[in-house]
Structures are given as C-alpha cells and as structure tokens.
Amino acid sequence: MPNVTIREDDVMIKLRSLRKSFGNQDVLLNVNLDIRRGETMVIIGQSGGGKSVILKHMIGLLQPDGGEVSVDNVVISTPKSFDTHTIRRKMGMLFQMGALFDSMNTGENIAFALREHHPELTEKQVQDSVTEKLKLINLVPEFRTKMPNELSGGMKKRVALARAIALSPEILLYDEPTTGLDPITSDVINDLILDMQSKLGVTSVVVTHDMASAFKVADRIAMLYKGRIIEVGTVDEIKNTTNPFVKQFITGQRNLPTGTGTR
C-alpha cells in the first residue's frame, strides 16, 4: 500500500509509540497513527484487542505507560501528565452503552456539560442549545422530558450523541456506536455520524467491529492487531488488501489461508 505523506497541519490527532498494559497483559505495544483534520477514522480489530483503550487514551480516561497522544500539535497525554483543558475543550465522546445519567431526563443530560463548563449561560441559552442539539439528531424539542428508562437502545445513543456535541467539540469519539442495535437502527446511527462530520466539520474516530458500519462511515480505516496498527487505508484499499490478517477480519474467516505465517 502506498505511503502518503500527510502535512503536519493536516493532522488533528497523533498517536506515537503508545503502550499500555494491565497487570501482566500487554494491550497496546507500539501504536502509531495519524488522524487527519476533518476525517472519519475507523479503528477495527478483534474484541478485547485494545480499540476502546486507544479511545480512552485520546480523551484522558487512561494514561499511557509509554508514548504520547497529541491533539492539534499539543501533547495531551504522556506517562506523567494529562492536558485536561485541551481534552475538555476539543473532545466529545459517545460511550458504548450511551452512559446517560439515569436520574436526569434527556434535556438535563444534554445540558449537563453546558452547566458544568459554562456557568455564565442563562437558562434560556442552555435550553436553546438543548433544542438545537436535539434538532441535529432529528428529535423534536418535546423529547427533552423523556427519562433514559423510557428510551430504546438506539434513542439512548442518539441522546448521548447530543450530549457529546453540547460543547461544540472539534473531535468526536465513538466507542462501538452500533453495538446491540438492529441493522436498521444501526444505519440511523451511521447516518448521524456522517451528519456530524458534514454539519459540524468534526474530526471523528470510530471504534467498531461492525464492518458494514465501518465501510459506510469511514474516510480511512486502521486495523489494530496484537497491540499494533498493522494497516491504514481508504475503504477501497482495505477491501482490496493483501494483508492476510486484515483480510481474515473483514471477511469473517475463522482461519487464515493455508501457508500464511504468524507474526
């Protein structure tokens, strides 16, 4: 696969020699990845292989054992420190199960970050922002009174997405956004991911093992295998890969072709 030189100014997120272990289990061994400004990068790989661990390093929920994470040429995460100001100002995250606050209604969930980080806003400004975010995920303003236990899995993820964009972040992180959803609802979420990129101009990082979703939303796809990124390419490049490990994953083969060595 051809190497494409990316200009420094075009890179929004850089992962350099990222390492992470939990006890005696090495999860990330040497992860290097450049994510371009305004693109949707999808990270694929086996369940439990460390995809979500990468996201948690990007948003400061985990600190690396080695290496660093940079956002817009600012180092935000090293083994010794976090830059929480940059993380909170630039990033929003859609967690795998939505992670809504059960004691708050939909509107209060979406408004939470606004009230936390912008106490100077009036209540009208907060409510206007909630209405705006509900419209972005194609829900009517009256939806704000719904409680999380009244919502389906797909609706919870839509509300969680509205909460993630409440502070107008430049970067959106999606952790398995279609997990547990039926194919039609999954496609609604995929369309919202595309909408967020086109309407808000965000840089998106999507972790998934749902290849239909990956092929629909991605500008580029990175494959994580045994703690390292082993291939990065466009959707067409990944579909036509000659790498046996990538091919095995995207086609769902249980076994590698005969004669393929291990790494």
128 vs 10, 110, 158, 228, 262, CA distance in Å? 33, 11, 18, 44, 56
- Residue 77 · residue 63 · CB < 8 Å: yes
Handedness of CA 185, 173, 220, 139 (dihedral sign): positive
| Beta-bridge mates of residue 92 | 172
Rounded average pLDDT over 114-125: 87
Task: Name the H helices within the chain.
Answer: 51-58, 84-90, 106-117, 123-136, 153-164, 183-200, 211-217, 235-239, 244-251
Which of 63-77, 89-103, 205-219 has the least mean pLDDT?
89-103
List phi, psi (to 5°) of 86.
-65, -40
pLDDT of residue 1: 42
33-54 per-position pLDDT tens digit: 999 999 999 999 988 889 999 9
All structural domains of the chain with their residue ranges: 12-234
Q: From 121, 149, 143, 119, select the one nearest 131 (Cα to Cα).
A: 143
151-172 per-position pLDDT tens digit: 888 888 889 999 999 888 999 9
Rounded average pLDDT over 80-84: 82
6 vs 64, residue with greater confidence: 64
CATH for 12-234 is: 3.40.50.300
Q: How confident is the model at residue 3 (pLDDT cuts 50, 70, 90)?
A: very low
The mean of the pLDDT values for the chain is 88
